[in-house]
Amino acid sequence: MMTWWIRPLYKPPCFITILDSRSVNNCSERTMHENLSLKILKTHITDTGNYSCEVVNAHGTFHSSFMLQVLVRPSVSVTINPAGFPECSAVGGIPAAEISWIPESDNVTTRREMAPDTTWTVISTYRVQIIPEREVTCNVSHPTFTHSQILTIVIPAGTIYIRWFVMSGLLFILIIVLLFIWKSPSCREETSSSLDEEFPPAVPAPKKKRAQNMAFEEMLELVRIFDRKDYDCRNGPYRSKNNARKDRILDKLRATILEKFGKDRTKDQLRKRWSDLKVREQEQLRRIRRVIAKRKCHVIL
């Protein structure tokens, strides 16, 4: 007895059994046995798969397995694509074809696509700047070819201009689209609103009042009160904290200047004036103290 077990990759398994002069075949009509061999008529892609033979006789049971791969010859061609580059294709082959170029280059893109019927399409693009009227050769290898298929194409003189026009056209279209998007009201409103959210308008800072020059009599009053009240705490320590004590002295000085001279000086102005007298205008400070001392003498007399 002999049995063929057939397990295709793309359809259900089946078997053929031969016993003496009788046979059982639940495979397709294209598959049949002939003596001790298996015969497939009009081989199809779906016949790819594993085929096992089992023979049982008086000497024992014997097994043998085979892997059948159906090869399909691709159709090859070479053309100039719309971008002006040579393009070589091998369509409808099993397995996928191998494509190479002469002269060789690393600037080659190759894509492989499987069709629903499991055949392969290979497209290779030669993206090299070539001088017009020069030849490039496409070399296609496949198991169904006795020799590699060699296809040569001459780069036409207008290819460079075609490529330039294509790139210029794409760039022009891109600029038009961007201008249209920018001029659309919705885009401008969204852009302005997003800019306002990201960069809110600056609030103008309040203008500071420029300090008026302090008259000599005002400086006399400042030095007299600060020296008498010991503003710099040279004769301390005092019970209250220095900052609180200085604030009370400044309040008294402001009230005195407002009462005598009608000028409303801020605490910062008074502090700055006192600091300038001590650091940068020491001669002025000594002159003011001499005037204060003379006035005390006149009052005593």
Structure confidence by residue, pLDDT tens digits, 79-123: 988 888 889 999 999 889 999 998 888 889 999 999 888 889 999
Q: What is the pLDDT of residue 200?
A: 57
Class of domain 75-160: mainly beta
Q: Inform me whether the pLDDT recorded for 245 exceeds 60.
A: yes
Tokens coding 262: 């009608």
Give the separation between CA 84 and CA 129, rounded to whole angstroms.
10
* pLDDT value of residue 118: 85
Residue 284 zone, left/alpha/beta (φ > 0; ψ -120 to 50; rest):
alpha
Helices (H), the chain: 159-183, 185-198, 216-228, 242-261, 267-279, 282-300
d(C-alpha 76, C-alpha 147), whole Å? 13
pLDDT, residue 145, reads: 92
Separation CA 84–CA 138 (nearest Å): 16
Whether pTM > 0.85 for this model: the answer is: no
For the chain, where do the domains classified as CATH 2.60.40.10 start and end? 2-68, 75-160
Q: Token digits for 28?
A: 């397709």
| 93 Cβ contact partners less than 8 Å away, ≥ 6 residues apart | 72, 73, 74, 119, 120, 121, 122, 142, 144
Token pair 């204060």 is at which residue? 292
N- to C-terminal Cα distance for the chain?
155
Q: How confident is the model at residue 130 (pLDDT cuts 50, 70, 90)?
A: low
Query: pLDDT tens digits, residue range 32-73?
Result: 877 778 888 888 888 888 989 988 888 888 888 888 888 999
Is CATH 2.60.40.10 what the domain over 2-68 is classified as, yes or no? yes
